[in-house]
């Protein structure tokens, strides 16, 4: 008998996956330290992304349950079917690198707007208000998204909401 995953199941799954990713991250850090301290210093900021990508690619990317999904006895479905490979890759990219990539993109566009001589002053001011709103309320938008998850029980992460 199948049932829709409850909020507690999704949270438990996320916690279990997070624990596995942190363990993998520690192992990668230990390995890079063994190679050399210079290697570790050079790549240490990428290790969290590498470990998350590796974990989710090996599991979700190959249509397998993650440790958290297996522990919570849930299966990720989209329209009552396992998501296709393109959807999995898009989800993985957004889940791991979506927020940093979006922030860099917004910073780049904001710089372009500030230095552009082609925009009218009204348009520039309007766009700068949008950027100001984003910078001011980014964390509030995340909190609202999380609250919607607790209310509806769907879409734990923004990447799930986008790829569903």
Angstrom CA distances, 154 to 6, 23, 127, 141, stand at: 9, 27, 32, 16
Residues 36 and 14 in one domain: yes
Residues 71 and 90 in one domain: no
| Contact call for residues 72 and 10 (beta carbons, < 8 A) | yes
Per run of 10 residues, the mean pLDDT along the chain (length 164 residues) is 73 92 94 86 89 90 84 77 78 82 87 85 89 86 81 73 68
Note down the domain range covering 55: 1-76
Helix axes 85-115 and 121-152, enclosed angle (nearest 10):
150
Q: Cα separation of 14 and 45, whole Å?
A: 22
Residues 19 and 46 in one domain: yes
Domain count, the chain: 2
State if pTM tops 0.75.
no
Residues 95 and 69 in one domain: no
């Amino acid at each position: 008998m199948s049932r829709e995953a409850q909020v507690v199941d999704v949270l438990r799954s996320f916690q279990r996956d997070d624990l596995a990713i942190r363990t993998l991250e520690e192992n990668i850090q230990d390995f890079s330290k063994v190679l050399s301290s210079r290697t570790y210093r050079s790549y240490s900021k990428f290790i969290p992304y590498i470990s998350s990508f590796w974990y989710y690619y090996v599991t979700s990317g190959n249509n397998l349950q993650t440790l958290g999904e297996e522990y919570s006895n849930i299966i990720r479905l989209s329209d009552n079917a396992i998501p296709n490979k393109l959807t999995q890759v898009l989800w993985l990219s957004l889940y791991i690198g979506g927020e940093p990539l979006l922030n860099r993109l917004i910073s780049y566009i904001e710089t372009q707007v500030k230095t552009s001589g082609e925009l009218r002053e009204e348009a520039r001011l309007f766009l700068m208000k949008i950027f100001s709103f984003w910078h001011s309320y980014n964390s509030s938008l995340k909190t609202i998204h999380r609250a919607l998850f607790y209310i509806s029980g769907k879409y734990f992460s923004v990447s799930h909401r986008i790829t569903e």
